[in-house]
Amino acid sequence: MLFLPIVCQSPFSIATFKQKLAHRPYWFIIPPTSAEDPRPMSDNPLVATHLHIYPTYIVTTQERLLSGRRRSDKQIRNQRNLLNNKHTGALSVKAKKRIKNAVNWMVASAQWKRIFDKKSKKHYLFKVNLITLTLPVLDHGISDADFKSKLLKRFVNACRYHYGLNNYVWKVEAQANGNIHAHFTTDTFIHYKLLRRTWNGILAREGLIDKFEAIHGHRDPNSTDVKAVRNIKNLAAYLAKYFAKNETDKRRIKGRIWFCSQPISDRNSLKAETDPLDQKGLLRCLFQSGIKHKVIESNPNSLGLTRRVGELFLIKPSQWRDLISGPLRQLYDDHRLRIRNSLQRVLDFNKWDDLYEISIPTKRIFPITPIPPQDNTPSQMSLTLSHV
């Protein structure tokens, strides 16, 4: 067996490398270095470290750009699963992760608002709500597709226009009687009377209020429910678990069963790329006693050996404020601001000022502390934001 070393004097392409590898199956690749910079002088580094940042965890992965390895069986199964993208009426494992991340980003970016109820003469704080939208009659003739396209879509558009709806997540499921209903959470405060008035107005356009009046004798069905969630300790975890559950004992909904606004969707995720040589300095703030750390390893090969493919850091929402600092904290805060200000606009509250007053406290419950400018240290210069 002959090992032939190659000394590269200039950057080479992947196609050239694969062509040479086909004639000589065993190679050592020795990229050129210099005394000032021991790193390879190649435009195509062998390893790139990526950061996937979420409110409850951070994942670091390493991708080998010049790897000639074949795809694993798991990657092949995932590719086939992407081709078969029909809705089954149940949440998959990936769908559960996406809906949890969407809820976590919405809660993390939402501001506390001070609400004054003029009827009870009391102040209380609001961050997010949990709304249930139902149908008032059983004989409604509304299909699952019509409920989402004609009723739920109109409700979202009406809340955007009248109440400044910003970020939201909805999920539809069947009740015990077979009726479809929707769970809806948002960071925009809407009075429960206005919610019922808006939803019943949409139901009236489809003739459902007339059917309800013929049975009960009035036109104001209790078709909406607002659940109090302000006293729940871990609000993000509660909402994420509530929305990600699967109802196995009820009929499955046809078509899409959940959706979220674009700023908190997976298409707007927070990703970053770092230099592998500066990774430990950049992530030094994560190696603390309060943050759980796990090493991600590959499956063992034929010799029983594994390799390190990444790291997982489990983070509590309060630890972003208390423990994490530096460029990671700055990226996290900037992303929350982008989510929060995505659809901000000035609203005319005179339409419903007889119900409540809304104001944002000058002292935020979870303040965003800006990081002062510092010198261009390697740990700060090695982080590049990739806002997908």
Chain segment 255-303, per-residue pLDDT in tens: 888 999 989 988 788 888 776 666 666 788 888 888 999 998 888 888 8
**245 vs 182, more confident:** 182
Answer for the pair 376, 198: CB distance below 8 angstroms, yes or no: no
Q: CATH classification of 93-264, choosing from 3.20.20.140, 3.30.70.1910, 3.40.50.410, 3.40.30.10?
A: 3.30.70.1910
Extract the tokens encoding 102. 């969407």
Lowest mean pLDDT among 183-192, 207-216, 260-269: 260-269
Establish how many alpha carbons lie within 13 A of residue 79's alpha carbon, considering only the half-sphere containing its beta carbon.
6
Say whether pLDDT at 204 is over 90.
yes
Q: How confident is the model at residue 221 (pLDDT cuts 50, 70, 90)?
A: very high
Extract the tokens encoding 68. 């000639």
Greatest Cα pair distance, the chain, in angstroms, is 92
User: How high is the pLDDT of residue 124?
Assistant: 84
The number of angstroms, rounded, from the C-alpha of 184 to the middle of its chain's C-alpha atoms is 16
Answer for the pair 181, 133: CB distance below 8 angstroms, yes or no: yes
Say whether pLDDT at 24 is over 50.
no
Number of Cβ within 10 Å of residue 32's Cβ equals 12
**60 vs 247, more confident:** 60
Alpha carbon distance 47, 146 (integer Å): 49
Q: What angle do CA 144, 149, 150 make, to 5 degrees?
A: 100
Kindly report, residue by residue over 85-122, the tens digit of the pLDDT: 677 777 888 888 889 999 999 999 998 888 888 888 88
User: How high is the pLDDT of residue 225?
Assistant: 92
Kindly report, residue by residue over 342-364, the tens digit of the pLDDT: 743 333 444 445 555 555 443 33
DSSP codes, 296-359: EEPPP-TTS---EEEEEEE--HHHHHHT--THHHHHHHHHHHHHHTSS-----GGGSTTTEEEE
Percent of the chain scoring above 90 in pLDDT: 28
User: How high is the pLDDT of residue 235?
Assistant: 77
The single residue listed with the structure tokens 């606004």 is 261
> CA dist 30 to 8, 33, 42, 46, 62, Å?
7, 9, 11, 11, 20
**258 vs 238, more confident:** 258
Highest mean pLDDT among 4-18, 125-139, 365-379: 125-139
| Residue 241 backbone dihedrals phi, psi, to 5 degrees | -70, -35
Kindly report, residue by residue over 139-186, the tens digit of the pLDDT: 888 999 999 999 999 999 999 999 989 899 999 998 888 889 999 999
Phi-psi sector, 325: left (phi>0), alpha (psi -120 to 50), beta? beta
User: How high is the pLDDT of residue 386?
Assistant: 36
Alpha carbon distance 112, 125 (integer Å): 6
Q: How many residues does the chain have?
A: 388
Q: What is the mean pLDDT of residues 132-137?
A: 93
pTM, entire model: 0.73
Phi-psi sector, 236: left (phi>0), alpha (psi -120 to 50), beta? alpha
Domain residue ranges in the chain: 93-264
User: How high is the pLDDT of residue 357?
Assistant: 56
Alpha carbon distance 148, 145 (integer Å): 5
User: How high is the pLDDT of residue 346?
Assistant: 36
Answer for the pair 260, 166: CB distance below 8 angstroms, yes or no: no
